[in-house]
């Protein structure tokens, strides 16, 4: 039984990958069109590949550097195993692979979509969504495959494939966290680098091409137009793929970690049909089934009417999406019933241990699914074409760019109201239902249909590219009309996809945060301690500064692009007449270099700050790891809260500006007058959109990686901050709590056979709390103002009795120091 449920997710991952390869073969078989189209498509493919290769070359150094640091940590910290480095490298590699695969299929699908759009809209949707499906299933399949394989490997390596103790499983999952860390690190750079690339090219191309030279978008005479189309692929496809790959892995991992603590709360041992690790396997099982249901969902996305409009296309996508979500809900019901003990004991911090029925875990998954759906509606309300907030921005455009910008900013800011209330309710309810395990499973359920979500997300930029190719190849107008319908739907799904991404990131971060608190063994995170509060402030500031850096980077990179395009217009003879050939590669090169250069500082900020806090903490509170752990926890909370706010603010403001501008294409009624493209109001709306571009495509979407990566770094640092400051015995102790070897010399310990694979020799002083079975009983008597206390400490079965006398405060201080 055990073996089936543990290997099942791998099987499902293989099914997903097999379906992906079939779909891929089908897409590649489609007609890529004639000479000009193919030529342009090849330019885009090569530009995107050049960027990814350059990016990966650079990131190889980062991975090597980070691996050395991790290896160092694993040598110093007894509970961190060197295998974390292997997991990290593979996580990074899989993430890069997922991005690369997605990007390749997207750049092959774009031209085929253009060609399909020459025949009919249904065919164009089929091809473009086919490309999206390949991307989605590739990412999800690789994520489940990698995570499950490494889990099984570590489970066998550290525990011989049988449950021993929560402590051993903690080491398995700590090591597995390396996989997630690797994935999320690459995601950060891919998202930020891709975001800078795409907006630098976009803004640069528009400023000189559209505004200065007065040529339309995607005009082949514009040297930056290829870079612009490459940007769609490296930003919206490869960046998004790496992002969701990281989210997916982090979410499942966090749920597994908390599943382990459910087992701990139940006495460290449960009897079930899954070798006693049902709560740990559940999130993986849900992820596995999610792949199957995503496949079913993607098969339902189709339209038949060649005269279909945006609404029908959107409806087709919605049907597929809803079916996969509903199937997931049903599967959660059966999986929870099947895999979890009927009643479970859970420790609710500050409220004691409660007995809860496993059904409450199912309800928590429903909370996650509902939040995922509602957040999409909320996002659509604030950013969709024709909605009240967007129309208000349109109206404000009539009095100039200033009022348009104010209205857009205010819309983004107001949109945090329902969103944050929704998140707060979700956190509270799913926690009330099943503790932080409930929060983590809410996130897992939400992320289960990642493959479907990503298919929906990825078809947008593919269609956008298809339209660009149609324009550049000067194809008949109806081709562009068809791709425009797909592109327009893609814009909406892009906005809702960002809402979905931040919702899942918020829940995942909280789950990681909970795992962090449990790993470090601290007594919660108390912001009434000034250093912790100070770090909450610092954490809150990071997303703001990160966003500013990303925005400035876009500005700088766009300027480089502007100068290059101006130079080509000036120096290449006949370029405006179409007789001179623009040097596309130069522009691609500029975007590439700028993106790689500019992604470094935000990356360093994200990774450097948590480490700096720990170092500063060690400097000031050398003997108080617990306080340092709380400080880092405060920092994590600050980053999460502020990051969520700024993500919602920036994504929605950007989305609203974009659609306010788009509204002018069909014409809008302002003060009783129909107003169109080219009017002053439209120009004001274009300004708003320029501001919104880096918001929604660079800094905004980076927020969710920022918060997840921060929490993951915390999790990996956690063992260092385990409460090793306690000096209970000066003898060597063995770390496996199930084996009573404490207060023995190293030799005695070895003679007793206390050494296991998960265990290194260490001083008891350096032994983290969760590795010790420790009991403290205190007797305190108070006679005539003199207080006497007897403290019996039992560590791993070995007793130690101490007595004190003194004033109440003195005795209490002594007791506190021993706790």
Interacting residues with a second copy between 381 and 410 (CB under 8 A): 396, 399-403, 405-407, 409-410
Could you say which residues in the range 513-532 bind a second copy, by CB under 8 A? 513-514, 517, 524-531
26-55 residues in contact with a second copy (CB under 8 A) are none
Quick check: 809 binds a second copy (CB under 8 A)? yes
Nearer to a second copy, 424 or 674 (CB): 424
Query: Considering only residues 273, 299, 424, 612, which one is a binding residue for a second copy as defined by CB under 8 A?
Result: 424
Angle at 598 between CA 593 and CA 599, to 5 degrees: 105
- CA–CA dist 1, 273 (Å, integer): 6
- Smallest distance, a second copy to C-beta of residue 128, A: 30
349, 578, 680, 752: which one binds a second copy (CB under 8 A)? 349
Are the C-beta atoms of 203 and 693 separated by less than 8 Å? yes
What's the CA gap between 443 and 508, in Å, rounded?
6
| Binding flag, residue 344, a second copy (CB under 8 A) | no
Q: Which is nearer to a second copy, 385 or 536 (CB)?
A: 536
Alpha-carbon span 134 to 102, nearest angstrom: 7
Per CB under 8 A, contacts with a second copy among 564-603 are none
Please identify, using beta-carbon distances, which residue of 312 and 687 lies nearer to a second copy: 687
Site membership for a second copy, residue 807 (CB under 8 A): no
Q: Which of residues 155-214 bind a second copy (CB under 8 A)?
A: 207, 211
- Within residues 95-114, the interface with a second copy by CB under 8 A covers none
Residue closer to a second copy (CB basis): 124 or 407: 407
DSSP string, 425-444: HHHHHHHHHHHHHHHHHHHH
Give least dist CB 382 to a second copy, A.
12
Three-state SS across 597-624?
HHCHHHHHHHHHHHHHHHHHHHHHCCCC
Binding residue for a second copy, selected from 50, 213, 432, 585, defined by CB under 8 A: 432
Q: Based on CB atoms, which residue is closest to a second copy, 4 or 211?
A: 211
Q: Per the structure block, which two tokens stand in for 542?
A: 């990071």
Q: How far apart are CA 219 and CA 687, in angstroms?
A: 21
Backbone angles phi, psi at 786, to 5 degrees: -90, 125
Binding string to a second copy for residues 607 to 646, with x set by CB under 8 A, is what?
Answer: --------------------x-----xx--xx--xx-xx-
Q: Which two tokens stand for residue 530?
A: 């000034």
- Told to check if 745 binds a second copy by CB under 8 A, we report no
By beta-carbon proximity to a second copy, the closer residue of 143 and 558 is 558
- Smallest CA-to-CA distance from 590 within 286, 228, 292 is with 228
Q: Quick one: which H or E segment has residue 353?
A: strand 352-357
Closest of 593, 553, 802, 529 to residue 693, by C-alpha:
553
Site track for a second copy across 537-556, x = CB under 8 A: xx-xx--xx-xxx-xx-xx-
Per CB under 8 A, the list member of 559, 740, 750, 765 interacting with a second copy is: 559
Q: Closest approach of Cβ 12 to a second copy, in Å?
A: 31
CA distance 665 to 81: 59
Q: What is the DSSP letter of 802?
A: E
The least CB distance from residue 284 to a second copy, in Å, is: 24
Paired with 781 in beta bridges are: 788
C-alpha–C-alpha distance, residues 814 and 819, integer Å: 9
The 208-247 site mask, x for binding a second copy (CB under 8 A), equals ---x------------------------------------
Among 379, 651, 687, 723, interactor with a second copy by CB under 8 A:
687
Q: Which is nearer to a second copy, 585 or 691 (CB)?
A: 691
541, 642 Cβ separation under 8 angstroms: yes
Contact between 75 and a second copy by CB under 8 A: the answer reads: no
Distance of CA 650 to the CA centre of its chain: 17
Provide the minimum distance between the beta carbon of 617 and a second copy in the complex, in angstroms, as a whole number. Answer: 11
Could you give the CA distance from residue 169 to residue 259 in angstroms, rounded to a whole number?
10
Q: How many whole angstroms separate alpha carbon 663 and alpha carbon 658?
A: 9
Among 431, 500, 519, 664, binds a second copy (CB under 8 A): 431
Q: Give the C-alpha separation, 527 to 538, whole Å.
A: 13
User: Measured between alpha carbons, how far is 209 from 547 in angstroms, rounded to an integer?
Assistant: 27
The answer to whether 420 contacts a second copy (rule: CB under 8 A) is yes
**Whole-number Å distance between alpha carbons of 124 and 539:** 46
Q: Is 163 in a helix, a strand, or coil?
A: coil
**Residue 583, helix vs strand vs coil:** coil
The dihedral through the CA atoms of 96, 99, 102, 108 has a sign that is negative
Q: Give, for 561, the enclosing helix (H) or strand (E).
A: helix 530-571
Task: Tell me the window of 349-357, 574-582, 672-680, 723-731 that interacts with a second copy (CB under 8 A).
Answer: 349-357
Among the listed ranges 268-276, 378-386, 684-692, 796-804, the one in contact with a second copy (CB under 8 A) is: 684-692
Among 245, 436, 500, 569, binds a second copy (CB under 8 A): 436
Please list, in sequence order, all residues whose beta carbon lies within 8 angstroms of the beta carbon of residue 217, skipping any fewer than 6 positions away: 205, 206, 209, 210, 225, 468, 471
- Least CB distance from residue 801 to a second copy, whole Å? 13
Distance CA 126, CA 115 (A): 12
Neighbours of 608 (CB within 10 A): 12
Q: Does residue 691 bind a second copy (CB under 8 A)?
A: yes
How many C-beta neighbours within 10 Å does residue 752 have? 13
Site for a second copy in 438-477 (CB under 8 A): 439
> Smallest distance from the beta carbon of 612 to a second copy, in angstroms?
11
CA distance 258 to 261: 5
Site map 305..334 versus a second copy, x via CB under 8 A: ------------------------------
Cβ proximity to a second copy: between 285 and 631 the closer is: 631
Which of 60, 119, 337, 353 touches a second copy (CB under 8 A)? Answer: 353
Smallest distance from the beta carbon of 684 to a second copy, in angstroms?
A: 8
Contact with a second copy (CB under 8 A): which of 359, 533, 601, 818?
533
Alpha carbon distance 469, 460 (integer Å):
14
604 contributes a contact to a second copy by CB under 8 A: no
- Residue 427 CB, shortest distance to a second copy, in Å, is 5
277 or 787, CB closer to a second copy? 787
Residue 261 CB, nearest approach to a second copy (Å)? 13
Dihedrals phi, psi of 354, to nearest 5 degrees: -125, 150
Token pair 């320029």 is at which residue? 690
Min. distance of Cβ 512 from a second copy in angstroms? 13
428 near a second copy, judged by CB under 8 A: yes
Residues from 755 through 784 that contact a second copy (CB under 8 A): 775, 777-782
519 touches 718 (CB < 8 A): yes
Pick the stretch among 37-45, 361-369, 422-430, 737-745 that binds a second copy (CB under 8 A).
422-430
Least distance (Å) between residue 644 CB and a second copy: 7
Distance in Å, CB of 528 to a second copy, minimum: 4
Residue 573 or 678 having the CB closest to a second copy: 678
Answer positive or negative: Cα dihedral of 108, 109, 115, 116.
positive
Shortest gap between Cβ of 5 and a second copy (angstroms)? 29
| Encoded tokens for 168 | 């051993």
Give min distance, CB of 189 to a second copy, in A. 21
Q: Are 250 and 708 in contact (CB under 8 A)?
A: yes
Residue 86 or 645 with smaller CB distance to a second copy: 645
């Amino acid at each position: 039984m055990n073996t089936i449920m543990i290997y099942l997710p791998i099987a499902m991952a293989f099914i997903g990958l097999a379906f992906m390869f079939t779909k891929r073969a089908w897409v590649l078989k489609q007609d890529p069109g004639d000479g000009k189209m193919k030529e342009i498509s090849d330019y885009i493919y090569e530009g995107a590949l050049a960027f990814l290769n350059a990016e990966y070359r650079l990131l190889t150094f980062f991975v090597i550097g980070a691996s050395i640091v991790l290896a160092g940590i694993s040598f110093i910290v007894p509970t961190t195993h060197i295998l974390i480095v292997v997991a990290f490298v593979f996580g990074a590699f899989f993430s890069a692979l997922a991005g690369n695969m997605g990007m390749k299929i997207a750049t092959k699908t774009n031209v085929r979509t253009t060609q399909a759009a020459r025949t009919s809209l249904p065919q164009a949707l089929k091809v473009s969504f086919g490309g999206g499906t390949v991307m989605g299933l590739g990412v999800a399949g690789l994520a489940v495959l990698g995570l499950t394989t490494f889990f099984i490997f570590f489970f066998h390596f550290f525990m011989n494939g049988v449950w021993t103790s929560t402590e051993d499983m903690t080491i398995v999952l700590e090591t597995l966290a390396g996989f997630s860390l690797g994935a999320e690190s690459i995601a950060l750079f891919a998202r930020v680098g891709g975001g800078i690339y795409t907006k630098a090219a976009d803004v640069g191309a528009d400023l000189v091409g559209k505004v200065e030279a007065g040529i339309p978008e995607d005009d082949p005479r514009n040297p930056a137009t290829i870079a612009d189309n490459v940007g769609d692929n490296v930003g919206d496809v490869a960046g998004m793929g790496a992002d969701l790959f990281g989210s997916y892995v982090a979410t499942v991992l966090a749920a597994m970690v908390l599943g382990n603590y459910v087992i701990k709360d139940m006495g460290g041992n449960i009897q079930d049909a899954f070798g006693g690790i049902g709560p740990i396997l559940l999130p993986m099982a849900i992820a596995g089934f999610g792949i199957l249901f995503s496949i079913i969902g993607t098969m339902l996305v189709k339209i038949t009417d060649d005269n279909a409009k945006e609404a029908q296309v959107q409806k087709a996508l919605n049907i597929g999406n809803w079916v996969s979500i509903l199937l997931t809900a049903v599967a959660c019901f059966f999986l929870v019933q099947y895999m979890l003990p009927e009643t479970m004991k859970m420790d609710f911090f500050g409220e004691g241990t409660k007995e809860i029925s496993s059904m409450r875990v199912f309800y928590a998954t429903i909370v996650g699914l509902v939040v995922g759906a509602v957040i999409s509606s909320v996002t659509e309300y604030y950013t969709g074409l024709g909605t009240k907030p967007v129309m208000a921005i349109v109206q404000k455009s009539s009095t100039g760019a200033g009022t348009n910008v104010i209205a857009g900013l205010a819309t983004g800011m107001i949109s945090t109201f329902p969103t944050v209330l929704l998140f707060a309710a979700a956190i509270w309810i799913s926690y009330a239902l099943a503790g932080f395990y409930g929060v983590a499973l809410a996130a897992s359920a939400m992320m289960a249909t990642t493959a479907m979500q990503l298919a929906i997300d990825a078809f947008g930029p593919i269609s956008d590219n298809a339209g660009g190719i149609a324009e550049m190849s000067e194809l008949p107008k109806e081709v562009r009309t068809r791709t425009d319908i797909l592109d327009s739907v893609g814009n909406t799904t892009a906005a809702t996809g960002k809402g979905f991404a931040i919702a899942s990131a918020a829940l995942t971060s909280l789950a990681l945060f909970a795992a962090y608190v449990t790993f470090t063994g601290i007594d919660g995170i108390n912001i009434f301690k000034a250093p912790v509060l100070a770090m909450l402030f610092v954490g809150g500031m990071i997303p703001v500064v990160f966003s500013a850096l990303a925005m400035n980077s876009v500005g700088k990179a766009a300027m480089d692009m502007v100068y290059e395009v101006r130079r080509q217009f000036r120096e290449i003879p006949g370029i405006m007449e179409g007789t001179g050939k623009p040097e596309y590669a130069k522009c691609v090169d500029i975007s590439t270099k700028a993106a790689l250069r500019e992604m470094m500082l935000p990356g360093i900020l994200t990774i450097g700050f948590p480490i700096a806090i720990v170092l500063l903490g060690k400097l000031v509170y050398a003997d108080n790891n617990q306080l340092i752990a709380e400080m880092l926890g405060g920092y994590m909370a600050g980053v999460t809260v502020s990051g969520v706010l700024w993500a919602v603010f920036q994504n929605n403001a950007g989305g609203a500006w974009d659609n306010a501008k788009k509204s002018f294409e069909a014409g809008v009624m302002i003060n009783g007058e129909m107003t169109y493209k080219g009017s002053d109001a439209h120009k004001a709306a274009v300004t708003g959109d320029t501001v919104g571009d880096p918001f929604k495509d660079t800094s905004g979407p980076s927020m969710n990686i920022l918060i997840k990566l921060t929490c993951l770094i915390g999790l990996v640092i956690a063992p260092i901050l385990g409460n090793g400051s306690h000096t209970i015995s000066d003898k060597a102790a063995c770390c496996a709590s199930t084996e009573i070897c404490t207060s023995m010399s190293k030799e005695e310990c070895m003679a007793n056979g206390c050494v296991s694979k998960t265990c290194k020799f260490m001083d008891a002083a350096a032994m983290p709390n969760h590795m010790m079975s420790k009991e403290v009983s205190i007797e305190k008597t108070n006679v005539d103002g003199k207080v006497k206390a007897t403290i019996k400490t039992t560590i791993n079965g070995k007793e130690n009795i101490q007595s004190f006398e003194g004033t109440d405060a003195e005795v209490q201080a002594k007791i506190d120091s021993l706790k």
